[in-house]
Amino acid sequence: MPDPLLRIEDLRTHFFTPEGVVKSVDGVDLTVTPGRTLAVLGESGCGKSVTARSILKIVDRPGRLVSGRMLWTRPDGSIADLASLPPTGPAIRAIRGREIAMIFQEPMTSLGPITSIGDQISETILLHHPISKAEAKSRTIAMLRRVGIPDPEARIAAYPFQLSGGMRQRAMIALALCCAPRLLIADEPTTALDVTTQANILDLMRALQAEDGMAMLFITHDLGVVAEIADEVAVMYLGRVVEQASVDAIFHAPRHPYTRALLRSIPRPGSRARLEAIRGSIPHPLARPAGCAFAPRCDQAIPGLCDTTPPDAYPTEAGSVRCHLHA
Amino acid sequence: MRDYIIRRILYMIPTIIAISVIAFTIIRLPPGDYLTTVIAELSASGAAVDSGTIAALRDRYGLGDPSYIQYLKWISRIVLHGDFGLSFEKNVPVNALIWDRLGATFGISILTLLFIWAFAFPIGIFSAVRKYSMGDYVVTFFGFLGLATPNFLLALVLMYVSVRYFGQSVGGLVSPEFIDTAWSWDKAIDLVAHIWLPIVVIGASGMAALIRIMRANLLDELYRPYVVTARAKGMSEFSLLLRYPVRVALNPFLSTVGWMLPTLVSGEIVVSVVLSLPTTGPMLLRALLSQDMYLAGSIILIASLMTVLGTLLSDILLAWVDPRIRYQ
Ligand SMILES: Nc1ncnc2c1ncn2[C@@H]1O[C@H](COP(=O)(O)OP(=O)(O)OP(=O)(O)O)[C@@H](O)[C@H]1O
Ligand code: SF4
Ligand SMILES: [Mg+2]
């Protein structure tokens, strides 16, 4: 295995709300390898977006990183702990957009509504590169062309409301990739799009990744998308990674009971097995179970152990799994 | 953008016509025709009223004609000759009376607007970004105080303070010794020493309102996804704040251009009377009391026209800032 590009260790991001502390991310471990795609999979509310935002230190108040390390390999080979950088300081801002870029879930609202897409992109280029405005503009046009926006010379003047959802997400991708980042975090970039557009955008992202050799952290709750795009998969449940493994291992030899339950809950081509919904529902974030967070829904839970002691992460051939069964 | 402006200007035309009809109706509102008023006025002032004068007046105003003819005569004199008719009370053309006053009104309006903007903009941004901080509470407290204090009371208090503690003559726009003198440095300085007071008094409640609006609008925008996008690009908090959410929240500022003028012309009459400002407000009040209807109608007409123009201006500014309006 090559050296990791980003290693997250025991990341905890909590929201200090008036109702109590919401432990949205509570001990996440992840490893991103250069040039590869890590899919982060999990049900709604399990903390995928908060994890992604924690990496860039853009968690909204009342959220705060309470502990953990995020070791990022800079282009010069040095290692920076993102967790220790002040969230509004120049050090993290030099990394945002330049070394690590992000694409968001809602293409409709994630672009500034009254600024032309060309301005929004070239502004980012100018922020990180000492070049002229004319140069930034021609790079912007080139970038728009790369993401498949027709007639980019004219479209740089377009405003987001003049573009379709798919075109907007392409503009968003152009914005994220305009500084050739080493890691692209994509937070459900296709969820808000129709199926055809979704497939087009995924193809585009894969093609761009092949050209630029960047790594991707791809957040989704869609196993079909995972199968299509991922090299590695991290399965999250209630603020923790319960299993990380190669995409083949996840689909063919899932270890964690939750991963298995997820796989049983989706239709698979060629399979006639009946679909099973996962029993029970996700616990309220303010009332997390004392032991394994999945215990109340787990068929294999060991009474007296799973409901009292949180499992550690145990290594497997293809990664790691957080479950007492694999101790 | 050009099409948008042309469209807006075309939309203005019916509004302007409606305004002129309303102003004309107001002129005709007092019982009896003007002539009765004029004759009453003239004989009250002891002047002899000969039948030639009466006939000339009768013809000039088209009395005896149906209303719409009278309206057309009146409006065409204004449009073609800039003749607004005669002030019955002073027996001089309205033109000779109103332009200085209108100048003062618009001068004070524009200065008040600039004053409001200069303070409401940074304070509104501050209190949104530092929501529920000490500073926000202080601003909010004074904001509500400003909204709740009647202007004339604020005027009286400020006048008292500046006479009592700064020994300054207040009221009017210049000290008595400068009235009717030519412009000089001393007069200009004296003007500045006087004009802050009406600006503060008239601007106080508008500023408080605008701070609240700016704060609420900006709070609406501050947590939108596009702000997170800008942050994720690596922009500094200050520049992304001004570049994205503030620009979107700016609309109410530009709309103030439109609503500042009517409040100044009508709503601040009391203030202008208290401060004895040479603006149109007190003149309009006096004209209405003495049934000097051409004067009153003209002031209403011009002030309303200016308001329509102000609205046009703010619409153009809005469209300039916000492409969603421009292209709709
Ligand atoms: N601003 C906030 N204040 C309080 N709690 C929050 C806030 N943002 C997120 N959370 C909590 O953090 C938890 C994880 O949220 P997150 O957005 O990471 O979920 P997700 O996995 O991305 O889900 P989805 O698939 O719906 O996007 C949720 O339970 C949510 O209640
Ligand atoms: S630790 Fe126990 S409860 Fe949790 S997933 Fe494993 S078996 Fe189930
Ligand atoms: Mg999410």
Q: Do A96 and B324 count as a contact with CB atoms less than 8 A apart? A: no
Of A88, A94, A172, the CB nearest to B237: A88
3-state secondary structure of B72: helix
Q: What is the mean pLDDT of chain A?
A: 89
C-alpha to C-alpha distance for A299 and A261, rounded to whole angstroms: 10
**Domain A1-99+182-271, CATH class in plain words:** alpha beta
Residue A144 makes CB contacts below 8 A (sequence gap 6+) with A117, A118, A121, A152, A155, A156, A170, A171, A174
| Window 156-175 of A, Cβ < 8 Å to B | 159, 161-162, 172, 175
Q: What is the pLDDT of residue A319?
A: 87
Query: Within 13 Å of residue A95, how many CA atoms lie on the same side as its CB?
Result: 27
Tokens in use for B286?
């006096």
Tokens in use for A146?
């790369």
Domain ranges of chain B: 2-94, 96-321
Rg of chain A, C-alpha, whole Å: 20
CB B37 within 8 A of CB B287: no
CB A49 within 8 A of CB A105: yes
In a mutational test of the A interface, the residue from B233, B236, B322 whose CB has the highest number of chain A CBs within 10 Å is: B233
C-alpha to C-alpha distance for A140 and A152, rounded to whole angstroms: 9
Encoded amino acid at B183, one letter: W
Q: Which residues of B touch A102 (CB under 8 A)?
A: 229, 232
Of B223, B230, B236, the CB nearest to A60: B223
CA distance B319 to chain A (A): 11
Query: Within 13 Å of residue A60, how many CA atoms lie on the same side as its CB?
Result: 9
Q: Which residues of A touch B243 (CB under 8 A)?
A: 112, 115, 123
Q: What angle do CA A88, A93, A98 make, to 5 degrees?
A: 160
Please tell me the distance between residue A44's alpha carbon and the centre of ligand 3 in angstroms. 7
Q: Which residues of B touch A97 (CB under 8 A)?
A: 232-234
How many C-beta atoms lie closer than 10 Å to residue A84's C-beta? 11
**Domain B96-321, CATH class in plain words:** mainly alpha
Domain ranges of chain A: 1-99+182-271, 113-180
Distances (CA, A) of A194 to A221, A289, B96: 16, 37, 70
Buried b / exposed e across A136-174, counting CB within 10 Å, b at 16+? bbebbbebbebbbbeebeebbebbbeebeebbbbbbbbb
Looking from the CA of residue A242, the nearest atom of ligand 2 is 5
C-alpha to C-alpha distance for B112 and B204, rounded to whole angstroms: 9
Residue with tokens 């009235």: B179
Confidence of residue A43 (pLDDT cuts 50, 70, 90): confident
Of A58, A123, A128, the CB nearest to B232: A58
* A108: pLDDT strictly greater than 70: yes
Please tell me the distance between residue A282's alpha carbon and the centre of ligand 1 in angstroms. 13
A257 in contact with ligand 1, CB cutoff 6 A: no
A325 in contact with ligand 2, CB cutoff 6 A: yes
C-alpha to C-alpha distance for A315 and A324, rounded to whole angstroms: 12
Asked if B248 reaches chain A (Cβ–Cβ under 8 Å), the answer is yes
Q: Are strands B86-87 and B92-93 parallel, antiparallel or unpaired?
A: antiparallel
The DSSP result for A257-323, as a single string, is HHHHHHHHTS--TT--PPP-PPSS-PPPTTS--SS-TTGGG-TT--TTTTTTSPPPPEE-SSSEE--
Residue of chain B whose Cα is closest to the Cα of A103:
B229
CB A209 within 8 A of CB A216: yes
Asked if B131 reaches chain A (Cβ–Cβ under 8 Å), the answer is no
pTM: 0.84
Q: What is the pLDDT of residues A264-286, one digit of tens each?
A: 877 666 656 566 677 778 888 78
Asked if A113 reaches chain B (Cβ–Cβ under 8 Å), the answer is yes
Q: Based on the number of CB atoms within 10 Å of its own CB, is A191 exposed (0-12), middle (13-18) or buried (19 or more)?
A: middle
Q: Whose CA is nearest to atom 12 of ligand 1?
A: A24
CB B15 within 8 A of CB B308: yes
ipTM value for the complex: 0.90
Residue of chain B whose Cα is closest to the Cα of A59:
B228
C-alpha to C-alpha distance for B52 and B55, rounded to whole angstroms: 5
C-alpha to C-alpha distance for B158 and A243, rounded to whole angstroms: 71
User: Mind listing the pLDDT tens digit of every residue in chain B (328 residues)?
Assistant: 788 889 888 988 999 999 999 888 887 777 665 566 667 666 776 666 677 777 776 676 666 677 888 888 888 888 888 888 878 777 788 888 888 888 888 888 888 888 888 998 999 999 999 988 898 899 888 888 888 888 788 888 888 888 888 777 677 777 777 777 778 888 888 888 888 888 888 888 788 888 888 999 999 999 999 999 999 999 999 999 999 999 998 877 787 766 666 666 665 677 788 888 888 888 888 888 887 878 888 888 888 888 888 888 888 888 888 888 887 7
Sign of the CA dihedral running A153, A154, A158, A162: negative
CA B9 to chain CA centroid, nearest Å: 20
Respond yes or no on whether the N-terminal peptide bond of residue A2 is cis (omega within 30° of 0).
Answer: no
Q: Which residues of B touch A111 (CB under 8 A)?
A: 226, 229
CA B146 to chain CA centroid, nearest Å: 19
Q: Based on the number of CB atoms within 10 Å of its own CB, is B60 exposed (0-12), middle (13-18) or buried (19 or more)?
A: middle
Residue B198 makes CB contacts below 8 A (sequence gap 6+) with B108, B112, B155, B173, B271, B272, B275, B277
Q: Do A93 and B226 count as a contact with CB atoms less than 8 A apart? A: no
A298 in contact with ligand 2, CB cutoff 6 A: yes
CA distance A126 to chain B (A): 11
From the CA of A294, which ligand is nearest?
A: 2
CA B7 to chain CA centroid, nearest Å: 25
From the CA of A326, which ligand is nearest?
A: 2
